[in-house]
Structure 1
Amino acid sequence: MKIGIVGLGLIGGSLAIDLRSQNHDLLGVSRQEATCKVALEKGIVDLASTDLSILKAAEIIFICTPMDKIAPIVEKLIPYLDNDTIVTDVGSVKQPIVEACSKLWDNFIGGHPMAGTAQQGINAAQSNLFQGAAYVFTPPDKSTGRTSPALRGRGQPLANLDKLKQLAVSLGAIPYICSPEVHDRAVAWISHLPVMVSAGLVAACLGETDTDVLELAQNLASSGFRDTSRVGGGNPELGTMMAQYNQDSLLRSLYGYRDRLEHIIELIETKNWDNLQQLLTENHQARPKFLN
């Protein structure tokens, strides 16, 4: 199968490595010539270019760019797409992306592989990144409005979704299917909220006005702080886009977190140690359910 990838960073490059190892033909597009050169030198793709036209032979195209670039790229791709070409993305927010892109192309299916590292760029791409990870697909609601039929593929939703699920399984990932809206509410709790909580943790520590205390805290910080603060120290652009594209669901989760945090503060202020221990015990018991 000929597979196109737009955006040869960590996710796009890692997808290419695994899919090419399965004897698919990989066509890669990047904005930067240097990235294309590295991808070819490392054997990550079979063909690389800054020109989207090389994807005209692709049967499936993954768009692995920042979220604000996904819909514009779909629109630019349309002249090069066959009616049956499947287009998907890897953005961490789905509702606004699926809504915009499915109006441009009937064969668009939203996707979100729940995998990654703190590293970025083509040199961070690695094999088996998606092994054991959830891979969520969010088909569009076909009851929504569409643009001109001239801009659309034929639309074979079940067959197209099955092809993407098979590819996800071939990566060692675990496919999940849900609506874009349900996806966004779920990831707000377990992905986007932790980024903001983690960022708030670091910012709160930096609010310590005694420089001796702050310096000692920085020197003493070990695995607990490192694990808790990791996601808040990631890509600032990605974190901002999570908030921008998933604002309502993220705010809902932040308000919920604030309420629980205020409850914990109240328990400590009133020295209600029994109820605090009960809460911590319930959390201890519930946490494994969130670890897939």
Structure 2
Amino acid sequence: MERVVIIGLGLIGGSLGLDLVGQGHSVVGIARREETAQAAVAMGAVTEAATDLGLVAGADMVFICTPIDAVVATAAAIVPHLSPEAVITDVASVKGELVPAIEALWPHFVGGHPMAGKAEAGLAVAEAGLFQGRPYVLTPTEATNPAALERVRAIAASLGANLCQCSPPQHDRAVAWISHLPVMVSSSLILACQEEADPAILALAQTLASSGFQDTSRVGGGVPELGTLMARHNRAALLEALTQYQQQLEQMKMLISAEDWDAVHNTLTQAQAARPAYLI
């Protein structure tokens, strides 16, 4: 069994720890706050925990589960403590700028992104089996050590995840469409509704909101810090996706304005036919 260190004990780090502890791995957790470290031990997400990054010494594998903007700095901070063959991987939802930066720091790094989550954040909502049946993307490059890649692949597979492999730029373009764009669209939908000038109509709309609105607004009601980091660190790909989406909205607006109901029907039919390909 591996000696695994998880840095960042939030939803992803905690859920990862629950699965790995359950498999019999020795799992060390590192958190920013002592209370979080103690809570992780108490819930069985790790076998030991503290706030000292020096605990990575002796680790076979290190998962960096911090927010996106702290991943590279965390990698730089732990490098002096690592054993020569230790593998570093991460779980960040952006890869293009992170992977080359960490590869320059450590030869055994493998970019990773388990695509599982919740609207809520934090260790308290961590759960075993979170990654079961969900995509887990690995983003190796020409510089990636094959043995390190295989070790990360093996652990990801043990979580019951569906493994996927692509380059860092490909990853960022794809997640801009299916993860980052929906957050911006969903939050914009909520704020557009809030623009209703008549308080009585707004209150009625809120009362009538059912599953359709709940489904389309869910990710817009998520953690603002995460959405901001998505936009900041995947800016180019997200802007391209937003532009394409805006063009689709303008096209639909034009068809409705022209009362071209056949074209509206054809557009909705195309969307209906395309949707199953995006469902797991």
TM superposition score category, shorter chain reference: over 0.9
Structure 1 segments, 4+ long, off by >4 Å, are none
Q: Distance in 1 between matches of 2:269 and 2:7?
A: 46
Task: Write the distance in 2 (CA, Å) between the matches of 1:57 and 1:33.
Answer: 21
Distance 2:184 2:269 in 1: 25
Aligned with 2:169 (options 150, 175, 181): 181
The equivalent residue for 1:118 is 119
- Structure 1 segment 244-255 matched on structure 2, within 5 A: 244-255=232-243
Partner AA of 2:247 in structure 1 = D
**Letter of the 2:179 counterpart:** S
Cα deviation code 1:48-72 (max 9, x no counterpart): 0100111111101000010111000
Cα RMSD between the aligned structures? 0.9
Query: Structure 2 length normalisation: TM-score?
Result: 0.98
Alignment counterpart, residue 180 of structure 2, candidates 169, 172, 192: 192
- Structure 1: unaligned runs, 5 residues or longer: 143-155
CA-CA distance at 1:244 after TM superposition: 0.4
How far does the alpha carbon of each residue in 1:85-141 deviate from its partner, in whole angstroms, 9 at most, with x for none? Answer: 110110001111112111111111111000011121111110100000000011234
Name the counterpart of 2:213.
225
Q: Deviations for 1:171-195, whole angstroms, at most 9, x for unmatched residues?
A: 0001111100000000000000000
Deviates more, 1:42-51 or 1:8-17: 42-51
Q: In 2, Cα distance between the equivalents of 1:42 and 1:284?
A: 43
Distance 1:58 1:20 in 2: 15
Deviations, residues 66-87 of structure 1 (Å, cap 9, x unaligned): 0111000001001111111110
- Opposite residue 59 of structure 2, the aligned amino acid is A
Deviation at 1:232, TM superposition (A): 0.8
- Secondary structure of 2:129's aligned partner: coil
TM-score (ref. length: structure 1): 0.94
Describe the SS at the equivalent of 1:62. strand
Give aligned-pair identity as a percent: 49
1:43 and 2:44 correspond: yes
Match runs of 1:211-222 below 5 Å? 211-222=199-210
Q: Secondary structure at the match of 2:104?
A: helix
CA contact (8 A) 1:198 1:228 kept: yes
* Alignment-mate amino acid for residue 128 of structure 2: S
Q: Which runs of 5+ in 2 are unaligned?
A: none
Which of 196, 205, 214 lines up with 2:193 in the alignment?
205
Q: Secondary structure at the match of 1:120?
A: coil
Which residue type is aligned with residue 121 of structure 1? Answer: G
The correspondence for 2:255, drawn from 262, 267, 271, is: 267
**Secondary structure in structure 1 of the residue aligned to 2:57:** helix
The aligned amino acid for 2:253 is I
Corresponding residue pairs, total: 279
Secondary structure at the residue paired with 1:104? Answer: coil
Distance 1:106 1:246 in 2: 24
Q: What's 2:105 paired with?
A: 104
| Conservation of the 8 A alpha-carbon contact between 1:102 and 1:140 | no
Equivalent in the alignment of 2:7 = 6
Aligned residue identity for 2:134: A
Q: Deviations along 1:21-49, whole A, 9 cap, x unmatched? A: 11110010000000011111122111101
The one-letter code sitting in structure 2 at the alignment partner of 1:172 is G
In the alignment, what sits opposite 2:16? Answer: 15
Give the structure 1 partner of residue 160 of structure 2.
Answer: 172
> For 1:95, what is the secondary structure of its paired residue?
coil
